[in-house]
Amino acid sequence: MTVSPLSAYRQLLRATRIAFQDDYPLLYAARAEARRRFDEHRRPGVDSPMHIQHAIETANILRHNLVQGVREADKEDAQWQLRIHEDIERGDNDSIKTAGGQSVKVEKCCSS
């Protein structure tokens, strides 16, 4: 099933809305960049499916892997809070320990 360019563009705009919630300068910049990229490749060509796939993958990364940090602007020593929404991919670190199906031994770097 092929995805239309309009559908990919909408997915990208929705992902920017979720990823950059309440950060309006970054939201507008991300949307302007998406618009610029789609305008560059407005005419269908041989590489159009590749560009559409790139837009869908970018939307997936924005939606599932990007976490935005927020802190109060008034306070310099304020703690950062992460905006983790329901679409954020939450995994465990066990997958990091297995590289290419081989078990990786994790050791301390120095003796204490």
pTM of the model: 0.71
Confidence band, pLDDT 50/70/90 cuts, at residue 30:
very high
Q: Does some domain include residue 18?
A: yes
Q: Does some domain include residue 101?
A: no
Q: Does some domain include residue 13?
A: yes
For the record, the structure tokens of 12 come out as 């990208």
Which range of residues forms the domain containing residue 34? 1-67
Tens of pLDDT, residues 41-99 = 888 877 788 989 999 999 999 999 888 888 877 887 888 888 888 888 777 666 666 65
Q: Does some domain include residue 44?
A: yes
Q: Does some domain include residue 20?
A: yes
Q: Does some domain include residue 102?
A: no
Q: Does some domain include residue 87?
A: no
For the record, the structure tokens of 96 come out as 């990091």
Q: In Å, how far are 7, 54, 80 from 76, measured between CA atoms? A: 42, 38, 11
The number of domains in the chain is 1
Q: Does some domain include residue 110?
A: no
Amino acid identity, residue 54?
H
